[in-house]
Each structure stands twice: as C-alpha cells, then as structure tokens.
C-alpha cells in the first residue's frame, strides 16, 4: 500500500549528508549510538581503544542524513556529526526514495 | 607519539565551549544517563543563545554532583544537600545571573529536601535539574527516597518497604511554576524543556529519569544501560498537563512524563523590588 504521495518537486529535494566523527578514546562502548541510529550507519567494532572498550565504526558512511541523534545520545561526548559539503556525494531524493 | 597528539588536537567536539574537555573522559559508568542530561543541557544553552557569562551552575554531592566540575561555566560544587541553599544566595546577591542547580535525587530530595520545599515556596528564580536514578549510586547503592517499593538495594536485600516520593507532586504542592519530567531517551524533548525552563521566571523543576547500570540495574537484574533505554521506550507515556498526584513510579511500572505545570507567580527577587 502506498501511504505517501510523491512530492511534485522530488527532483529538487536534496537530502543532507553528514560525516560522523568518532573520538575513539573517549568511548565506553555503551552502544546507544548503534542502537538508535535510524539509518543503521554505525556498528560496534572488534578493535579496542586505550581503555579496553569496543568503540563503534562507520559501517555505511553514505547513509548518514545528519540527524545528530548519535551526537545527542552519546553520554561520553565521543561522537559528533558535521554536514558533508561535497555535492557529488549528495544524492537527490528521487534516487534515494521512490519505493 | 607526536602524531597521536596532533591527531587528538584535531578532534574537537562541538560542545567544547561548554565542557571542560581536559577533565573528560568523566567518571560515570558505561551506559549511565547523566552524560545525556549534560548533553541536553549544553545543547539547550547553545540553542537558547544564552550569554554563558551570565549562567551559574551549582551541584551538590553524588554522581550528578560531578556535573559542576565538567561544565565550563561559573560552577560550584557544594556540600551535601545544600546546592539549593547556595544557589539561593547567588540569586539574591546577583539577580542578573541565571542560576541552575544540577543534582541528583538523593542530594535534592532526601538530604536537601527541606531546601527544595522552601525554595519552591519562596519561588526563587532558578532551574533545578533533578537527575533521578532511583538510588544512591556513588556511595554503593543504598536505598534512596525515590527507590520504588519492592526494588532491591544494598541496604534493603529483601526489597524496599518505603513508599517513594513523587518529585513533581512535591514541587507542585510547594509552589514551583514549571514542572516537567522526561527520561534520558527523550533527549530532544528534554532539550526543549530545558530551553522553556531557562526562559521561565521562577522555580522550575525538570526531573530526568536516568538509567543506573552499575547499581540500580545490576542489583535488580534489569540489564545494562541499553536495556533500560529500551524499557523507557516501551513503558513511557507522554501526558502533558497530567495531575501530579498520578505520577508515582512503581517498580518497573509505567512512567508518565511530559510538562505538568506551567503557571505564573511573582518570584522572590520581584517581590523584593
């Protein structure tokens, strides 16, 4: 069932793309960012940081839409997101959605 | 080593103008929610565009009492339970400052309960952030006045027999002008609540329900911080304007949250003028 109408200006909508920065040595491996990322960008890695925890790594870097939820939900101030300015990487919404 | 250092210098968190980054990593356990309350508060300061030189932050003793040490504003780490008494002095001496009390349930409601009631009665213009983790966490998991009935703690191995205090009801009946409750999972609503409360003239209370993975959750076998966040996701309900009488929290019961009180009363410094 198609619940959403297709916007008329679909070609012009640009989805923002973000770049995630992880300060690995501050991470304590609580897993909040991995669990609550709406696009499943992050995953817990196998590597250890200096304190012996497993910090997350960026699994799908192109999926990030700069919602800043991982930044807000990090209790250790160890992750932050910046807007990716590179226009070549920005996919238009028609390419992305549609289904 | 040199390259490592330069790499570290490059990674600058955007909240570094509000945080003392040389003291971070902080002492809170993995999965603790106090860091989330601090993040929301820092985001609220940034969004509300408040002059950081006009904010003073006061903490008492306890896990949440460490907050004053990590925030790069005028901050005071006071004796146990006397955070509100100290903040009252700041506000009366310098009414231009925005005074924020950031402390835990054991500090504000138990040992400082008397100060809490009387500051609300006088309606002193300050924001009180009460991080409620249901237990005295720093001293080893003793029963607190907010521990739900039948929950275990190190000092009640057969379950707590004392009915817990209802913080929004206490604040409402004592005369607070703004009372809200959120969990650490509802971080954006919590940030908006902080912005509203910072703007409000009078005694504002924001209760933040926070997971305590090392004491409350471990003794009661509730899993780690992430399990508590999932519990908050499934067992919370937003009811704005709910009667504060109905806001008791039972052991693993439904948590009702939202903005309960938003009213106008002349504040203490206004009455002086």
Give me the DSSP letters along A57-92: EES-GGG-----HHHHT-TTS-EEEEE---TTTPPB
CATH at residue A39: 3.30.70.20
Whether B111 is in a domain gets the answer: yes
Domain of B252, in residue numbers: 28-263
Contact A31 B226 (CB under 8 A): yes
CATH at residue B254: 3.40.50.970
Whether B19 is in a domain gets the answer: no
Whether B21 is in a domain gets the answer: no
Whether B238 is in a domain gets the answer: yes
Which pLDDT score, from 0 to 100, does residue B12 have?
A: 80
Whether A62 is in a domain gets the answer: yes
Which pLDDT score, from 0 to 100, does residue B180 have?
A: 96
Tell me the mean pLDDT in the region B49-65.
Answer: 94
Residue B108 above 90 pLDDT?
yes
A55 to chain B: closest CA residue:
B30
Nearest to A77 among B13, B187, B224 (CB): B13
Whether B172 is in a domain gets the answer: yes
Task: Judge if ipTM > 0.90.
Answer: no
B59-62, long-range: CB < 8 A, 24+ apart: B59/B83, B59/B101, B59/B102, B59/B103, B59/B107, B60/B103, B60/B104, B60/B107, B60/B108, B60/B111, B60/B112, B61/B107, B61/B138, B62/B103, B62/B104, B62/B106, B62/B107, B62/B136, B62/B137, B62/B138
Residue A65 above 50 pLDDT?
yes
Whether B3 is in a domain gets the answer: no
Which pLDDT score, from 0 to 100, does residue A98 have?
A: 43
pLDDT in tens, B151-182: 999 999 999 999 999 999 999 999 999 999 99
Domain of A40, in residue numbers: 18-82
Angle in degrees, CA B11, B12, B16, rounded to 5: 155
Whether A12 is in a domain gets the answer: no
Q: What does R_g of chain B's alpha carbons equal in angstroms? A: 18
**A35 touching B (Cβ < 8 Å):** yes
**B85 touching A (Cβ < 8 Å):** no
Whether B102 is in a domain gets the answer: yes
Q: How many Å from the N-terminal Cα to the C-terminal Cα in chain A?
A: 10
**A31 touching B (Cβ < 8 Å):** yes
Contact B43 A29 (CB under 8 A): no
Contact A30 B19 (CB under 8 A): no
In chain A, the number of structural domains is 1
């Amino acid at each position: 069932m198609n619940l959403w109408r297709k916007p008329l200006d679909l070609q012009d909508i640009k989805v923002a793309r973000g770049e995630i920065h992880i300060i690995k040595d501050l991470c304590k491996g609580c897993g909040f960012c991995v669990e609550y990322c709406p696009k499943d960008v992050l995953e817990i890695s196998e590597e250890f940081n200096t304190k012996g925890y497993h910090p997350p790594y960026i699994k799908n870097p192109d999926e990030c839409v700069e919602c800043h939820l991982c930044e807000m939900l990090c209790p250790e101030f160890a992750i932050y997101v910046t807007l990716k300015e590179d226009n070549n990487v920005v996919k238009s919404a028609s390419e992305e959605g549609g289904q | 080593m040199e390259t490592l250092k330069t790499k570290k210098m490059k990674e600058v968190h955007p909240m570094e103008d509000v945080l003392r980054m040389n003291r971070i990593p902080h002492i809170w356990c993995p999965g603790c929610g106090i860091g989330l309350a601090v993040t929301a508060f820092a985001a609220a300061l940034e969004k509300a565009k408040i002059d950081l030189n006009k904010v003073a932050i006061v903490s008492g003793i306890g896990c949440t009492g460490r907050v004053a040490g990590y925030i790069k504003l005028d901050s005071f780490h006071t004796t146990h339970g006397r955070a509100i008494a100290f903040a009252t002095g700041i506000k009366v001496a310098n009414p231009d400052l925005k005074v924020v009390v950031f402390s835990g349930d054991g500090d504000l409601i138990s040992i400082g309960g008397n100060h809490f009631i009387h500051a609300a009665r006088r309606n002193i213009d300050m924001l009180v952030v009460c991080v409620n983790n249901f237990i005295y966490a720093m001293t080893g998991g003793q029963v607190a006045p907010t521990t739900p009935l039948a929950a275990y703690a190190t000092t009640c191995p057969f379950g707590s027999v004392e009915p817990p205090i209802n913080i929004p009801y206490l604040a409402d009946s004592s005369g607070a002008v703004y009372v809200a409750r959120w969990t650490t999972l509802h971080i954006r609503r919590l940030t908006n609540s902080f912005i509203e409360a910072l703007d409000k003239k009078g005694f504002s209370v924001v209760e933040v329900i926070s997971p305590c993975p090392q004491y409350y959750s471990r003794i009661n076998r509730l899993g780690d911080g992430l399990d508590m966040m999932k519990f908050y996701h499934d067992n919370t309900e937003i009811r704005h304007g709910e009667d504060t009488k109905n806001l008791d929290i039972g052991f693993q019961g439904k948590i009702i949250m939202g903005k309960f009180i938003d009213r106008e009363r002349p504040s203490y410094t206004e009455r002086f003028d």
